[in-house]
Structures are given as C-alpha cells and as structure tokens.
Amino acid sequence: MIDPAEITSLTLAGIAHRCSEETHRFFKRLEYDPRYCYELFRRAIVDADQEAHTCLFNQYLPLVAGWIERHPAFPTTGEDTQYFVNRTFEKLWHAVTPAKFSRFDNLKSLLRYLKMCSNSAIVDFNRGRELSLIEEGSDSEEMRVAPAPGDLETDTVARVDRSQFWRLIEERLNSEKERTVIYASFVMGMKPAELMETQPEMFDDIKDVYRTKQNVLERLRRDHELVSFLAFAA
C-alpha cells in the first residue's frame, strides 16, 4: 500500500485522477483506496485550494445530482438539478471550515455530510418558499396543508393566521432536527419513514423521528402563549 506521505506529495492533477479511478472501482464493487478522494477534500477545505474546489465539484457533481433527483421533495421545488447541486456545495464550504475538517476521519463521513447538505438544500428551499407564501398571504392550493381527519395540529394550521402561527412555532423549535421534523410532517406531508430515508444522518432510527415529533408536540401543547393563540383563533 502506498505510504500516506506519498499521497500528500502528489500533484493536484494526480490526486484528482486517482480519486476518479478509485471512485469508479467503488461503484464497480471492487477493492478501492478512499485516501485519494479524502486528500482531495482536504486540499479543497483545509488548504483552501480553489483548483481543488473545482476538481472536487466536478468529481462529485454526478453523485450529488443523483441524490437530488431521487429526493422525494425535489419535484415540488420547480428548480433544476444544477441549482441544488450548487446550493449543496455552498453549504459544504460554509459548514466545513479548515478548523472543523479534523472531525471527519474518513471519506465515508465526508460523503455522508455532503449528502446531508443536498437534503438540507431542498428542505430549506421548500421551507423558505412556504414561509414566503405565508407572508404574502397566498391561498395557493399547491402549498396549502390538507388536514387529515382527526389531525388537530394540521387542522389548526389550515384555520389560523398561518404567518403568525409559523412565527410562534419557529421561535419554539430548539434545533435543526426539530425544525426538519415539524416542517416535513406538517408542510411537506412526509411520513416518518420517508423522513428517515432522506435524513439518515440526522436521526438514529425511525423511533428517533417519532420521538422528536412527539416531544415537540407535547412541548407546544404545554405552551400557554401558543395555546391561547390557538384558542383565540378557533
């Protein structure tokens, strides 16, 4: 096996070439060496090498595009694949700074995070569009939440002043995990299994999705200001 020092001493062109070769081997289910692609990530992020940025983008563009096109919410966005590919890498560059790169021990962890960025790009886009439509007082049937029989929370969203309602909800969510669960459940109408499939890095298992949703709803039901608002709106 090649010495790690030899990998770091290779030219960028050499690293990019070997990364491409090893990626092809991986998808053919052959033995492969992930260190070349990891080194490409390292040069792009830690060394802030713009040429490495470009090489990394070109190398993983097809993979990211595939993730985006298979995302269940992608068809609802109305945007093309390239738009979300760009947003995905922007999120990566913004979140993974040189100081944080050491948290990623291997290529697998980096690719998991890249996939999470692709999912986040779509979820954030749809959430932003929904909130924008709420602010504009839109009555679009396309974006309206359809209440399920006996679903008090969803029925409430359909009846009350949605702009103020979502402001109150956003103020009471404590993490990105909670925001994702609530948005996916009550705006996108996603089931826990669908959310788990698109956000495997965010949740331990499907029970974690249910638990997070239940904890948030129980906390919201105990919130006096929110309860008063809903009682008044009813």
Each residue of 54-113: pLDDT tens digit? Answer: 999 999 999 999 999 999 889 888 899 999 999 999 999 988 999 989 888 899 989 988
Angstrom distance (rounded) from CA 118 to CA 204 = 19
129 contact partners, CB below 8 Å, separation of at least 6? 77, 143
Give the amino acid at 210. Y
Question: pLDDT tens digits for the chain (234 residues)?
Answer: 677 778 888 999 999 999 999 999 999 999 999 999 999 999 999 999 999 999 999 999 999 999 999 998 898 888 999 999 999 999 999 889 999 898 888 999 899 889 888 988 888 887 776 555 444 444 444 434 444 444 444 444 444 455 677 778 888 889 888 988 887 787 667 788 888 877 777 888 999 999 999 999 999 888 888 777 666 655
Chain mean position to CA 232: 35
Burial code of 69-86, b = ≥16 C-beta within 10 A, e = fewer?
eebebbeebeeebeebbe
CB–CB of 46/98 below 8 Å? yes
In three-state secondary structure terms, 86 is helix
21 contact partners, CB below 8 Å, separation of at least 6? 36
CA quadruple 186, 190, 196, 199: dihedral, nearest 10: -70
**Number of Cβ within a 10 Å radius of residue 30:** 9
CA quadruple 33, 39, 42, 48: dihedral, nearest 10: -150
